[in-house]
């Protein structure tokens, strides 16, 4: 059996870890999103100077969409792991 103050500290620790996990996940999402935006901006700028062949433009478009989906999946996994860890810590402290 745990003392109430110890349970509160454990929950607070778990909540802070979840907040940190979500903050890092948000930072990762924004960095990858900025990277994709910068690549898109650079490609469009270079394309305005000298147009690329249609195959190259299609390939880059697929890469850009793939990078966006990878960003969403990675951020979703980070969020899911953080939430599961938080729930596991909270449930584990009740025993």
Q: What are the structural domain ranges in the chain?
A: 4-94
Alpha helical stretches, state H, 1-95: 4-49, 54-94
pLDDT value at position 9?
Answer: 56
pLDDT at 6 exceeding the cut of 50: no
Helix axes 54-94, 4-49, angle to 10 degrees: 180
Residue pair 78/18 in contact (Cβ under 8 Å)? The answer is no
Q: What is the pLDDT of residue 1?
A: 44
pTM, full prediction:
0.69
pLDDT in tens, 31-87: 988 999 999 999 999 999 999 899 998 999 999 999 999 999 988 898 888 888 888
What pLDDT score was predicted for residue 59?
94
Predicted confidence band of residue 95 (pLDDT cuts 50, 70, 90): low
User: Which pLDDT does position 89 carry in this prediction?
Assistant: 82
pLDDT tens-digit profile of 27-38?
Answer: 988 998 899 999
């Amino acid at each position: 059996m745990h003392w109430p103050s110890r349970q509160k500290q454990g929950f607070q620790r778990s909540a802070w870890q979840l907040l940190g996990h979500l903050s890092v996940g948000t930072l990762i999402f924004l960095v990858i999103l900025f990277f994709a935006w910068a690549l898109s901006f650079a490609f469009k700028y270079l394309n305005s100077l000298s147009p690329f062949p249609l195959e190259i433009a299609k390939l880059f478009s697929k890469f850009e969409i793939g990078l966006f989906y990878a960003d969403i999946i990675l951020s979703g996994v980070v969020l899911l792991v953080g939430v599961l860890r938080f729930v596991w810590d909270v449930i584990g402290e009740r025993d």
